[in-house]
Structures are given as structure tokens and as C-alpha cells.
Structure 1
Amino acid sequence: MGEGTPVRADDAKFGETPLAQTVAAAAAMRRLSSLLLSLEHPHPTVDAMLAKFGEWESELAAAAPTDSAPRIGEADDDPRRVYLNHATDIGAYNPSFPEYSFDSLDADRADGRVVFPLTYEGPPGLVHGGFIAVFFDCVIQHHSCVMGLSGKTRSLNVTFRRPTPLLTELRFDIVRAEVERGIASTARLLLGDEVLCLGEVNTLASQPDKLTGYRFGRRRKESAR
């Protein structure tokens, strides 16, 4: 990391913090999706869920913005949606992304843990390789954003050495370096001491205020909806 004090990603303007309800709902939807995928026969609870889905969708649609594009700027009459922070912890509020946790974050190194639930299955009992690529992109970008630099991904190369098991606590580590015109990071996903796969990512290096769309629209007061 170059000179200067790293900024926390939640202090920078990467987008709004997700609602606590959204975080709780994402975890519940991830758990329910895994349970649905495990069912071998129809279940009456699923029929009850399906009956409710249409009602819930109608109620939420009435409260949601009329334009699903992200809102940039602060115009009061802008019909677009608020943009949520995609720099860190995307899986905490969006069940389509893997959920993970960091144990340490330093300028040139980081490590943490991840468990892939059934929703990310590819081959029997194993993680789909595409989700591993998404996971590497998420944790490497998270690392850089917390250190105060971010940027578009130039390249992402994944090397698969061993199958990655579902429902198993795995470790990951990242080695990061600032290079000419960007950042080079190499991440490993491990089961114990065994390396399962490697992710090598090269990105641009930009201060948060230099990113396109830096002036994200902030969440409005409820009375202003």
C-alpha cells in the first residue's frame, strides 16, 4: 500500500448500507433455498409459500422505485432505486453472492473463512466453479476497497486444483500488491493446508472519489418516498 491512511469501505461513498431487514431476509432466503433444493417430494409448506409470494411481490412493488436503474445524484424527484454498497460483504444482503468473513485485513495480506451452502452446488456435493470465481472477485475487491483503493477488474484467472466441498468451513488468504497502473492480488481457497484453487486478479487502482458514479444518491427519509 502506498502512503496515506487507508479508509474503511463504509466510510467511503461506495453506495448505501443495506437495510437490516434486507440482510436478515437474504440470510433467510439463502437458508430456505437450500432447504427447497434438499426436498425429495412436494411439501404443503411450499404450496403455502407460493400462495404468499404473489401477495408479497405486489406489496413490495408498490413501495419500490418505478425505475430499477441505480440513482446517481440527489434529485428529489429521481425515480431510480438507491444503490447499495457493492464494495464489501455483498453476500450479507444479496443471497446470489457468497457470504464470507475476514479474520484479518492488512495492506498487503488478508485472510478469512467461507462456507458454501447448497445453493452454490455444481457437481454432487461440490461448489460450482463459477461461484468460486465470483467469490474471489468479491473478497479481493473487498480487500482493496477497505485499503482505500478500488477499480474495475482487468482480468480474473482461476486455477482449480482440487474439488471444493459444500457445507465445509474453508479458509482463504490474499496477497496484494500495488503495481504500475493497478493492483495485483492472488487469493487461495484452502481446506486445512490443502490448496483447492487459486484466483489471480488484476484491477485498476482508483481512489473512491475518482470512480465513475461516485456521487451515489443517498437513502431518502421515509416521508420523501
Structure 2
Amino acid sequence: MKLFHEGEKIDGLCEDDGRVRATLRYRDHTLEDDLGVVRNVLVSVCDICDQTIGIPQQSSPAIRDARQRAVASLELNLPAIYVDMIDAAVYRVDPEANAEMRKRVLVYYLARYVREEDRMHELNAILSKDVGARPGMPTRRLSFKLSSSAARLLAAAMARTGLNRTDLTKALIAKIGEDLVEPASPPLLPELSLLAQVLKA
């Protein structure tokens, strides 16, 4: 991989000016969809109109990291049994984990279902499972800050299942309980426990 340097000239393609010569410069780069700004990153700049037209490979990790840090909120009030269920699953995955691990387990399941689209119907079906929620049961709040990539997974799952955020989250937690809380030896437990150790590194 070639390491580029500030001031270096390269060929580029500009939306306004076509094929152009471009100069590599350190600049603040605005992310798409108003997700924020990456400060002082090397980009290629059109020599004619002075707009950013490309990103060298060496700048990609910084930009990807900034996209991952961009956040969306997921805030729900659920029957207390659902929060108890995900907390029991989290404790099983890592007895030392804090509440942040709730989000990681939830997003792990979300990503699996988005990747394995043909299993998405399971979420609609499991929503009717009796997990112990009863009329008058107290509610507890789940509040997460999701990265932009996790927010896209959530939107994709909602679109494919037709479920709103609350019902989708309840279905995911019911599945997590079925997989991680109910069995004596959950098949996914070693993988998730290893993931928890990596995330604590």
C-alpha cells in the first residue's frame, strides 16, 4: 500500500470538473448524513474547484471510526421482565459485565438476524411468546446510544419484520432469553463470552 503525503499530486475524478489533477491536503472532512466531522484527515482535493473528491486508504480507518462513533438513541419503557431477561443473559455471558453489555448482546442478535434474512420471521413469531409479562407489571427503561451502523441494522430489521422499535426489541430479548437463559448449556454462550472478553481488552 502506498503511503501518501500532504502536497502530493494525483489524478482524480471530480463530480463538477471531470478528470482532474488533485492535491493531497489535511482537512476537516464532513461525513454524509450529518453524522459529524473528522478533523485534520488527509484527503484529495480538486485543483480546479477545491472540493474534496477522494479519500486515501490511509485515512479510511479514522473516517470509519468517526462513523462508528456517530450515535442514535434507542430509548424504551418495557415490562420489567424483559429487562430482567436481558440482564440474566448478560450475567451468564459475563458475570462482571455492566449495563453496556445489554446493548452489545442485543446488537449481536440484531446483526445475526439482518445477516440471515430468511430467519427474520422468527422475530415475528416469538413476539407472542409468554415471557411472564402481566398487566400492571412495572416498566423499566432501556436506553442505548447506537452507532450509525447499529442504527442501520435496527432500521433494516424493522423494515423487514414490520415491527416497531419496541416490539422488535421485545422479540429480540425474548429470543435472547430462549437462547441464553433457558438452556442448561447455551450453544452460543462460549462465542459470546469470548466476545465479551475481547471487548473488555
Instruction: Tell me if TM exceeds 0.5.
Output: no
Normalising by structure 1, we get a TM-score of 0.23
Normalising by structure 2, we get a TM-score of 0.25
- Structure with greater Cα Rg: 2
Indicate the structure with greater helix content.
2
Larger RCO (CA under 8 A, 6+ residues apart) = 1
